[in-house]
Amino acid sequence: TASIIYGLADILGFAESTNLIPRIMPYLGVAHIIGGIMFGIAMASAGFCPGTCVARVGAGKFISAAGVIGLIIGVLIYNAIQPSLVEAGILGSRQDLTLYGVLGVSYGPLAVAWGVLFLIFALIADYVDPAKKFYQEKYSFNLIKDEWHWALGGVAAGSIIAWATAQGEYLGFSGALLALVAWVADFLGHPLSNVVPKITEGIIWHAGLIIGVLPGAFLAAIISGKFKFDPVPPAFAQGVPMPQVKMNLFFFTRFVGLGWTIQVDLLLMVRMILVFFAGMFLAIGALIGGGCTTGAFLAAYPTLSIGSMVMSGTYFIVGVLTANLIYMGRWSRFIEAKKASEEVYD
């Protein structure tokens, strides 16, 4: 949708007057590959990206709070290692490479064709989705309580991306996370000077973007009646082989002589640790590679940026390979649980 909006604005000549001039994600070379590999492994392991990690917390999947903590730590680690990455030549090289520039054609017509092409891909993917046979409910026109059709959700997302562009901003949740952490760190007197030397209006705008995800996800889950505490996603619980073991940990106080027993669910512990480290590597990978699934794919593909194609192509390929390794031989159980796992997005 965003690609078609940008393209039509360019063709019809109102792109400049409406500020619908997309920001080009720069080409970062090897940084896309390194960041994409880290992001792809983490995304496939945990089953979320930075924005959906925060959304899961708002929708009652409180174990994802470990992922949010990991995301914050990942931002702090990136701030610490950024100068070393520049010295090593991994970061620093930035080029405005675009598909229309490489092909030597006008942006508008190619952007419209690009948007139509992705619509065709989406229709084909929806048609061949093996999990569709397990979907019981039908789509309806109740946009408040029922699940949205993917096409309607796509139009809404694309329109929001274009709306952000018209405001002179760029939609991306890894950048929004960086902005929020930098804003808070600056307020506490410890600015992230390596990556955010100054708190600007744009930084505050992006910080508000990630803050808004929590109440938005909470309201959506409450209104749709799908807010529930679900510590381990069904797809992970059914797809990952692990005995349902509860460990009894005995604690005692040395001086008083009192003791108590706490039962710890092994699967829950594994999931929490996985989510934490996934969040950390998602943040580091996205910041090295130039964006997440929103910033380097949804919002960047309509700009026809070569950098976004390299970054997203890397993490999607690595993510698919990682998921196949994790769920090898158990895809049928994973697909059966896929619908229940996706309820957080409804």
Q: How far is CA 186 from CA 28, 173, 179, 198, 207, in A?
A: 27, 19, 10, 9, 13
Task: Give residue 260's pLDDT band: very low, low, confident or very high (50, 70, 90).
Answer: very low
Map residue 197 onto helix, strand or coil: coil
CA-closest candidate to residue 156, choices 297, 344, 5: 5
Average pLDDT, the chain: 84
Number of domains in the chain: 1
Q: Which residue has the tokens 């804003």?
A: 183
pLDDT at 28: 95
pLDDT over 60 at 331, yes or no: no
Identify whether the C-beta of residue 290 lies closer than 8 Å to the C-beta of residue 85: no
pLDDT at residue 341, as a whole number: 52
Cβ contacts of 162-165, under 8 Å, gap ≥ 24: 162/1, 162/2, 162/5, 162/6, 162/20, 164/299, 165/2, 165/6, 165/19, 165/20, 165/21, 165/22, 165/23
Per-residue confidence (pLDDT) for residue 127, from 0 to 100: 86
Tokens of 267: 């699967």
Query: Which ranges constitute the DSSP H helices of the chain?
Result: 2-12, 30-46, 50-58, 65-87, 99-103, 107-128, 150-166, 173-187, 201-224, 234-239, 266-289, 306-326, 331-341
Instruction: List the beta bridge partners of residue 276.
Output: none
Q: Tell me if residue 252 falls in helix, strand or coil.
A: strand
Q: How confident is the model at residue 228 (pLDDT cuts 50, 70, 90)?
A: confident
Q: In this predicted model, what pLDDT tens digit does every residue of 173-205 receive, in sequence order?
A: 999 999 999 999 999 999 999 999 899 999 999
- Find all residues with CB under 8 Å of 278, minimum gap 6, and list them: 42, 43, 45, 46, 48, 67, 70
Higher-scoring residue by pLDDT: 25, 237: 25
Q: Residue range 208-234: average pLDDT?
A: 82
Between 200 and 344, whose confidence is greater?
A: 200
Q: What is the pTM of this model?
A: 0.84
Domain that holds residue 17: 2-345
